[in-house]
Amino acid sequence: METSRHFPYGFMQREIISAKDINTRVKALGETITQDYQDSEKLLLLGLLRGSVVFLTDLMREIRRPITMDFMSISSYNKSESTGFVRIEADHKTNIQGWDVILIDDIIDSGYTIRTVRKLLLDRDPRSLKVCALLDKPERHKVDITIDYLGFSIPDYFVVGYGLDYDEKGRNLPYIAAIDISKEEE
Ligand code: 5GP
Ligand code: MG
Ligand code: MG
């Protein structure tokens, strides 16, 4: 893998989506959401901590109507592989009954996290519930899920940047980079 090192993180990284391309896509998503929710009185952007924070805060500034933001923190029981058995570490504060909710995540891999959280939120009786993700790895899906608003589909790479981390590193990279964990440097 080529090295294009923005910060010295100790791993090789290769930019796959530039900051400019992210910005263009986020603007377009904001435009679509603005159109789709013209008749909504209560629109909630509900982000999954912590990976979605950069995406959510950029996206909300491209939505030309009032929004509320809230967050949930979810952890998977099995750290290495998402299983769908998730634990709520911190719940959202808004009572979402009657709200139009857009659930926002950084990346969809197996799809288990989104599927599980979606079910849990539906039990809380929102007026509507849609899913928005910055990235999707369709090759990795293990369950059928619908992504209503998607930034980019990517191959089966492990990626960091724009909120996404590897062991808490790389979240502040302004672009998305694929990293090769097997070739860690000293
Ligand atoms: P799923 O339940 O869809 O398998 O897991 C989705 C979660 O796994 C994401 O929210 C993210 O936390 C993590 N994840 C999956 N693929 C990647 C990746 O390529 N990079 C990073 N940083 N996290 C990932
Ligand atoms: Mg996540
Ligand atoms: Mg992570």
Of residues 129 and 7, more confidently modeled:
129
Asked whether residue 44 carries a pLDDT value surpassing 50, the answer given is yes
pTM of the model: 0.93
Determine the atom of ligand 1 nearest the C-alpha atom of 157.
Answer: 19
Predicted ipTM beyond 0.90 = yes
How many angstroms separate the alpha carbon of residue 163 from the centre of ligand 3? 9
**Degrees, nearest 5: CA angle 35-45-125:** 100
The answer to whether 109 is a known catalytic residue is yes
Report the pLDDT averaged over residues 27-31. Answer: 98
Tell me: pLDDT of 46 over 90: yes
pLDDT digits (tens, 9 = 90+) for 130-149: 999 999 999 999 999 999 99
Overall fold of domain 19-154 = Rossmann fold (3.40.50)
Look at residue 82 in the predicted model and tell me its pLDDT: 64
Q: Closest ligand 1 atom, CA of 112?
A: 2
Starting from the edge strand earliest in sequence, which strands make up the sheet with 128-136, in order? 86-90, 68-76, 43-49, 100-108, 128-136, 149-153
Q: Is the peptide bond prior to 65 cis by the omega test (within 30 degrees of 0)? A: no
Locate tokens 């000293």: which residue?
186
Residue 59 has pLDDT above 70, yes or no: yes
What's the confidence (pLDDT) of residue 52? 98
pLDDT at 12: 81
Is the predicted pLDDT of residue 1 greater than 60, yes or no?
no
Instruction: Using the predicted structure, report yes or no on whether residue 3 has a pLDDT greater than 70.
Output: no
**Looking at the predicted structure, is the pLDDT value of residue 84 above 70?**
no
Catalytic residue among 100, 105, 106, 109: 109
Q: Is the CB of 52 under 6 A from ligand 1?
A: no
Rounded Cα gap, residues 50 and 74, in angstroms: 9
- State how far the Cα of 97 lies from the Cα of 103, in Å rounded to an integer: 14
The pLDDT value recorded for residue 94 is: 97
Find the mean pLDDT for residues 98-110.
Answer: 97
At residue 5, does pLDDT exceed 60?
no
Question: What number is the average pLDDT over the span 37-57?
Answer: 98
Per-residue confidence at 78, pLDDT binned at 50, 70, 90?
Answer: low
